Amino acid sequence: MKRFHIRSIILGIGIGFIFTSLISLIYFAGKEPAKNISDEEIIKRAEELGMVKRSSIFENIDGSDDTK
């Protein structure tokens, strides 16, 4: 069995870092960063996906029939 040298281990780690960074650069090159959207747009989209506001849950627990 061959003995591992610290130099070859460090070289392998360095090559791995370089390879990973190149792959991530290629992968994320076409991606746009998060668009500037307002809080209202986020809340509107979340409600479309089924988000329920905490205040409406507590109102329903108190006995009111206010459902949205």
For the stretch 4-39, pLDDT in tens is 789 999 999 999 999 999 999 888 877 666 667 788
Residues 18, 37: Cα–Cα separation, whole Å: 34
Neighbouring C-alpha atoms within 13 Å toward the C-beta of 52:
9
- pTM (global) more than 0.75: no
How do the domains of the chain map onto residue ranges?
6-61
Which tokens sit at 56?
A: 């409406």
Neighbouring C-alpha atoms within 13 Å toward the C-beta of 17:
6
